[in-house]
Amino acid sequence: TISSLFCSGSRSSKTFKPKKNIPEGSHQYELLKHAEATLGSGNLRMAVMLPEGEDLNEWVAVNTVDFFNQINMLYGTITDFCTEESCPVMSAGPKYEYHWADGTNIKKPIKCSAPKYIDYLMTWVQDQLDDETLFPSKIGVPFPKNFMSVAKTILKRLFRVYAHIYHQHFDPVIQLQEEAHLNTSFKHFIFFVQEFNLIDRRELAPLQELIEKLTSKDR
C-alpha cells in the first residue's frame, strides 16, 4: 500500500509534523484499511470512489488525514533542502507565489519563506484535524454543516505543498529516490479531489501539465 511505501527505508520515515493517527477499532480505521486494500490493487480510480453505503463526509475525513500524513512524510524528507535561503518566498514556479493567512491569527496575507509558510500551513491543518467538532472520531457524532468547505480548504492548501516540492525540490526528490512515492501519492490525491470536485481547477494550475500526464493513462 502507499502508506507502507513511505515507511520503507529509515530515511523516508522522517515526518515534518507528528503523524495524525486514526483510532484503531473505529469505523474510520476500518475505512482507512479499506482504502489501503483498494490502493494495493493498483487501480487508483477505483480506490478513491466512495465505498457503497458509506458517508461521504467520513470518507473525505479519513482520506484528508491520510493525505496530511503522506505530505508530512514527503516534505519531511526534503526539509534540509527547503530553507530560508533557498526558498525566501513560498512559490510553485515563477508564476505562482503564496502568501499565508488563516483568517483567525493572521487575517491579512503575509509574505514569508517556504519553510515558514509550510510550517504555518501544516500546523493549521493539524489544528483542524484535531478539532473534534470538525473531525469527529467518535461513532455517531455528526459532522458539522461546514465540514465540506473546511475539507476543501485543507486539500487546497495541502496541494500547495505538493506544488512547491515539484517545482522547487524535484532534484533532491530524485536523489533520494522518492520520485515514485511522490508521483503515486500526488496521483492518488488528484484522483481523489477530482472524484469529489474538491479543488477548483484554477488552484491546480501550477501542476496542470503534470496532472494531465499522470491522469491521461487512466482515463
Quick one: average pLDDT of 123-146? 92
- What does the alpha-carbon distance between residue 178 and residue 78 come to, in Å, rounded to a whole number? 10
User: Environment class of residue 27 by beta-carbon count within 10 Å: exposed (0-12), middle (13-18) or buried (19+)?
Assistant: middle
* Sign (positive or negative) of CA dihedral 208, 69, 81, 176: negative
Quick one: average pLDDT of 126-151? 92
Going by pLDDT thresholds of 50, 70 and 90, the confidence category of residue 126 is very high
- The per-residue pLDDT for 13 is 53
- Largest Cα–Cα distance in the chain? 50
Nearest partner of 133 among 119, 146, 152, 123, judged by Cα: 146
Binding site: residue ranges? 82, 87, 164, 169
- What does the alpha-carbon distance between residue 97 and residue 206 come to, in Å, rounded to a whole number? 10
pLDDT at 111 over 80: yes
What is the residue whose three cell numbers read 480505521? Answer: 29
**Is the CB of residue 128 less than 8 Å from the CB of residue 157?**
no
pTM of the entire predicted model = 0.89
Q: Which CATH architecture has domain 27-216?
A: Up-down Bundle (1.20)
Task: Tell me the per-residue pLDDT of 7-57, one tens digit each, with 9 for 90 and over.
Answer: 433 344 567 888 888 888 788 888 888 888 877 767 888 889 999 999 999
Q: What is the CA radius of gyration of the chain?
A: 17
> What mean pLDDT, rounded, does the chain reach?
89
- The per-residue pLDDT for 11 is 42
3-state secondary structure of 97: strand
Domains of the chain by residue range = 27-216
- The per-residue pLDDT for 6 is 40
Binding site for Zn(2+): residue ranges? 82, 87, 164, 169
